[in-house]
Amino acid sequence: MNQPILAISDVRKQYGRAPALNGVSLDVQAGELFGLLGPNGAGKTTLMSILAGLLDATSGTVTLFGQPLSQQARSLRQSIGIATQDLALYPELTARENLTFFGRLYGLAGEPLRHRVEELLAGVGLTERGDDRAGTFSGGMKRRLNLAIAVIHRPKLLLLDEPTTGVDPQSRNHIFEQVRSLNAAGMTMIYTSHYMEEVQALCPRIAIMDQGRMLACDTLPNLLRRLESVLHLQFDTPPETLRARLAELPGVTGCTIQGQRVELTTPNAAPLLPRIATVCAELAQMPTTMELQQPTLERVFLHLTGHDLRD
């Protein structure tokens, strides 16, 4: 395991009387692609703003590379890149001019800057449109440019706040590729989204937030392990002894029958399936349909918060 480069400890943020963050703590390891999952208003953007040095926490501590992070810690900003939820680029400037401008702000110049700009344009598939004004781009192209701007200075920590909001599938894939590629090159990333499938696909470790609180933070398998698989079996006429035979199978933690429908719960469905088939054969009553619900982040979220992620 790498050493944590980012440590967040009991961070709280109040806007007036309304708490936006309520005692959030987590560590992010060097080179990690960390997912931050939560619905709109969960406090993700506030947390990202604090990590980007745009906001100061009301209380708690944030350290990056062992140094306290605050609005005043300007030297640390050289190590941070941010792709905000809303686009942040100049529509009147070309893609190349946008990249060059932000590169210069971070101290790049001359040939290294030119090389970096071309490298990034190629990376996000905008080389051909490099001299077109960003305002003429599609939403997806703007998102890709937005990501390229965020990494122009090769930050060690990249904050991606809902980077795929409102983009087409092609651009989304482009962004995913770019994120994976940057992470593979060693860049530490925090990726926030309210799209579970994105976080699930990209991030080995995920924190789930709701209403300013950190509800869980673990690897994806560990999060999923918190829930059991659910198996639904449909029978024409379930035999009297079916429930008792299924309930006594090893690995079954619960069994209920409602009319023709049987629901089994199990932490691991794979070894159970042949055993169920054997019981059904012995009872000469095969199920007409069988449906397996594996644990998902959505179900984990529902389990943790009591409401759906997109409520």
Partner 1 sequence: MMPTLTLALKDLRLLLRDSRSAVILLVMPLLLILILGLSIGSLFEQKPDDRIRVSVVNLDAGLSESHTGFPPKPWSQMVLDDLTNTGNVRVELIPTREEAERLIRKGDRAAVVVFEPQFSDFVQRCSFVGEPFTHDPINPLYRDGILTREIGVTILRNPSQLVAYSVINQVVQVTLMRVVIPWMIGRAFEMIGTPPFMDRMEQYIPALKGAYLIISKQTIGEGIQKGIGGFFSKYDFTGKTWAKLTKSEEPPAIAENRSAYEAPDGSVRLNRGAMRYQVLVPAYTVTFAFFLVLTVGWLFVAERRHGTLIRLRAAPLTRWQILLGKLLPCLAVSLAQGFLLLLCGNLIFGMSFGPAPWLLLPVVVCTSCAAVGLAMLVAGMARTETQVAVYGTLLVLMLAGLSGSMMPRDLMPETMRQISRVTPHAWALEAYGQLLPPPAEPGQPPAPPPDTVDVLRDCGVLAGFGAVFLGLAWWRMRLD
Residues that bind partner 1 (CB under 8 A): 52-55, 74-75, 77-78, 80, 82, 84, 86-93, 97, 101-102, 104-107, 149
Nearer to partner 1, 149 or 209 (CB): 149
Beta pairing partners, 161 = 192
Residue with token string 């991030």? 203
Per-residue tokens: 150 = 């965020």
Residue pair 37/207 in contact by the 8 Å Cβ criterion: yes
In the complex, least distance from residue 75 CB atom to partner 1, rounded to whole angstroms: 7
Nearer to partner 1, 104 or 226 (CB): 104
Nearer to partner 1, 66 or 107 (CB): 107
- Which amino acid, residue 233? L
Nearer to partner 1, 45 or 266 (CB): 45
In the complex, least distance from residue 107 CB atom to partner 1, rounded to whole angstroms: 8
Distance of CA 207 to the CA centre of its chain: 8
What SS3 state is found at 39?
coil
In the complex, least distance from residue 78 CB atom to partner 1, rounded to whole angstroms: 5
In the complex, least distance from residue 135 CB atom to partner 1, rounded to whole angstroms: 9
Beta pairing partners, 11 = 24
CA distances from 25 to 2, 59, 67, 255 (A): 18, 12, 16, 38
Smallest CA-to-CA distance from 72 within 60, 48, 54, 45 is with: 54
In the complex, least distance from residue 112 CB atom to partner 1, rounded to whole angstroms: 15
In the complex, least distance from residue 264 CB atom to partner 1, rounded to whole angstroms: 50
In the complex, least distance from residue 208 CB atom to partner 1, rounded to whole angstroms: 26
User: What whole-number distance in Å separates Cα of residue 194 and Cα of residue 306?
Assistant: 16
User: What whole-number distance in Å separates Cα of residue 244 and Cα of residue 311?
Assistant: 38
Query: Which stretches within 18-108 are classed as H helix?
Result: 44-51, 74-77, 95-105
Nearer to partner 1, 145 or 217 (CB): 145
Nearer to partner 1, 91 or 112 (CB): 91
How many residues in total does the chain contain? Answer: 311
Nearer to partner 1, 78 or 219 (CB): 78
